[in-house]
Structure 1
Amino acid sequence: MEWTLFLLLLLCPLMMIICMKGMGGHKHHSSHSSSNLDKKMSKLEIENETLKKEIDKLSSLIKKGS
């Protein structure tokens, strides 16, 4: 029973090292993904404005119909 507890305690830092090493391989994509995120964000902002205008038009149509 003591060995399993000891093995679990050793396994925890080992898994942390493996996970951190695995995440380190994705650092070179950060500059590309940042510009990609900026493009997506600006596209979403334009789409949001379009949808707001459409909602305003529909709201005014509903008010006129009431």
Structure 2
Amino acid sequence: MDWSWLALLACPLMMLPMMLMMMKGSHAGNDHSEHHTSSNALKDLKEQNNRLQEELHQLKNKN
């Protein structure tokens, strides 16, 4: 029996419960602290994105 199709469905199927848990958790917290945490997380992600883009650019120029 070929179970490879199950591996393809694992990610989308696991995303549903994760999204539900995230939505439930975001409604339980304080809005002000959540907004502050979200803005800090967004800032961190933007900085990480910039670093990764620079690294990718350097790797492309290296070849």
Superposed counterparts of 1:35-54, under 5 Å:
35-54=36-55
- Partner residue in 2 for 1:60: 61
Q: Tell me the TM-score normalised to structure 2 length.
A: 0.53
Q: Relative contact order, CA 8 A, sep 6+: which one is greater?
A: 2
**Offset, 1:34:** 0.5
**In terms of Rg, which structure is larger?**
1
Distance 1:51 1:36 in 2: 22
Query: Aligned ranges for residues 1-66 of structure 1 at < 5 Å?
Result: 26=28, 29-62=30-63
Moved over 2 A (4+): none
Deviation at 1:29, TM superposition (A): 1.2
Amino acid at match of 1:46: E
| Paired positions, count | 39
Structure 2's unaligned 5+ residue stretches are: 1-26
